[in-house]
Amino acid sequence: MSEKSLWQLACECIPGGVNSPVRAFGGVGGIPVFMKSSGGAYLYDEAGKSYVDFVLSWGPWILGHNPEEVLEALHDQLTRGMSFGACTRAEVELARLILKMIPGMDMVRLVNSGTEATMTSIRIARGYTGRNKIVKFRGCYHGHGDSFLIQAGSGALTHGTPSSLGVTPGVAQDTLIADYNHLEAVEELFEHYGDEIAAVIVEPVAGNMGVVPPRDGFLEGLRALCTKYDAVLIFDEVMTGFREARGGCAERFGVQPDMITLGKIVGGGMPLAAYAGTKEIMSVVSPLGGVYQAGTLSGNPLAVAAGIAHLQLLDKIKPWDALEKTATFLREGLLQGALAAGVPVQVNQMGSMFTVFFSENPVTDTDSALASHADQFATFFHALLDSGVYFPPSQYESCFLSTMHTDAILSEVIEKAAQAFKKVRI
User: In whole angstroms, what is the distance from residue 266 CA to residue 275 CA?
Assistant: 11
Judge residue 294's burial from the number of C-beta atoms within 10 Å of its C-beta, 0-12 exposed, 13-18 middle, 19 or more buried: exposed
Q: Which of 42, 51, 128, 141 is catalytic?
A: 141
Q: Give 245's DSSP letter.
A: S
Which positions ≥6 away from 187 have C-beta within 8 Å? Answer: 221, 225
Q: Which of 174, 236, 258, 365 is catalytic?
A: 236
User: In whole angstroms, what is the distance from residue 423 CA to residue 147 CA?
Assistant: 41
Q: Which of 198, 195, 187 is nearest to 222 (CA)?
A: 187
The answer to whether the beta carbons of residues 258 and 225 sit under 8 Å apart is no
Q: Would you call 236 a catalytic residue per the annotation?
A: yes
Please report, as a single letter, which amino acid is at residue 70.
Answer: V
State the DSSP string of 52-72. Answer: EESSGGGTT-TT-BS-HHHHH
The H or E element containing residue 179 is strand 175-179
The answer to whether the beta carbons of residues 259 and 125 sit under 8 Å apart is yes
- Parallel, antiparallel, or unpaired: how do β-strands 35-39 and 42-45 relate? antiparallel
User: In whole angstroms, what is the distance from residue 62 CA to residue 268 CA?
Assistant: 9
The answer to whether the beta carbons of residues 350 and 205 sit under 8 Å apart is yes
Q: What angle do CA 143, 145, 146 make, to 5 degrees?
A: 135
Q: Which of 133, 264, 275, 365 is catalytic?
A: 264
Widest CA span in the chain = 63
User: In whole angstroms, what is the distance from residue 308 CA to residue 167 CA?
Assistant: 36
Which positions ≥6 away from 8 have C-beta within 8 Å? Answer: none
- Parallel, antiparallel, or unpaired: how do β-strands 273-277 and 107-111 relate? antiparallel
**Which residues are catalytically annotated?**
141, 236, 264
